[in-house]
Amino acid sequence: MGSITYKHVHRHLLAIDCIIFGFDGEDLKGLFVKRKLEPQKGNWSLMGGFVSGIESVDAAAERVLYELTGLGNIYMEQLHCYGALDRDIEARVVSIAYFALINIADYSKELLEEHHATWVSLKKLPDLIFDHRQMVEDAKEKLREKVATHPVGFALLPPKFTLKQLQALYEAIYEMPLDKRNFSRKIFSMNILQKLEEKEKASSRKGSFYFIFDEAQYKLLEKEGLKFI
């Protein structure tokens, strides 16, 4: 067979858009920037970039996330491909969206200033360019599905946390209150938290014990199909 060429096939731009989630102790937040390029220059946008000709889409997502956060080895997952014909008026751009989970405290002020980025509560989303709001809504739904059966939510917390902070995280993700007694019973029944002797005393005189996530214990139980919520 002769060689196959693609010179008569339309070429498109391939972009990466990143929904970067963080948790400030009360609200689930997303990292957004004011767009520097036309079209819609100056409007709110997700953080992202383009896939180069020498990298896979996953490698591009890892590169973009590292450039934007300065963090490696963070939790990320491919969300969906967005390719509506009219999603970008400047060119035919297909975007592959990823969502990532980071501890807000790990994101430096220097990077915020460098990228002119802002943490925004997902309860108060501004108008976003293109189909970025749909990406955020899809990512929120995917995160809810994921944290119900996997311990990925711990990536949004500091290494040590209180039970109150853990419950607040799940309440922020699901945007609904959870019964304190039932939540505690469920979490402790899985034996995936290690209690520390240290207490957090900023929020009360008595203080609350800190815990850490026991990943090794979780892996032993993972095949049983644990459900967090």
- In 3D space, the residue among 137, 68, 153 whose CA is nearest the CA of residue 103 turns out to be 153
What pLDDT score was predicted for residue 225? 66
pTM: 0.90
CATH architecture of residue range(s) 13-151 = Alpha-Beta Complex (3.90)
Tell me if 180 sits within 8 A of 221, measured CB to CB.
Answer: no
What pLDDT score was predicted for residue 89? 81
Domain ranges of the chain: 13-151, 157-224
Amino acid residing at 179 = D
| Three-class secondary structure assignment of 54-114 | CCCHHHHHHHHHHHHHCCCCCEEEEEEEECCCCCCCCCCEEEEEEEEECCHHHCCHHHHHH
pLDDT in tens, 16-34: 999 999 999 999 999 999 8
What pLDDT score was predicted for residue 146? 92
Residues (pLDDT < 70) of the chain are 1-3, 222-229
What pLDDT score was predicted for residue 3? 60
Domain 157-224, CATH class in plain words: mainly alpha
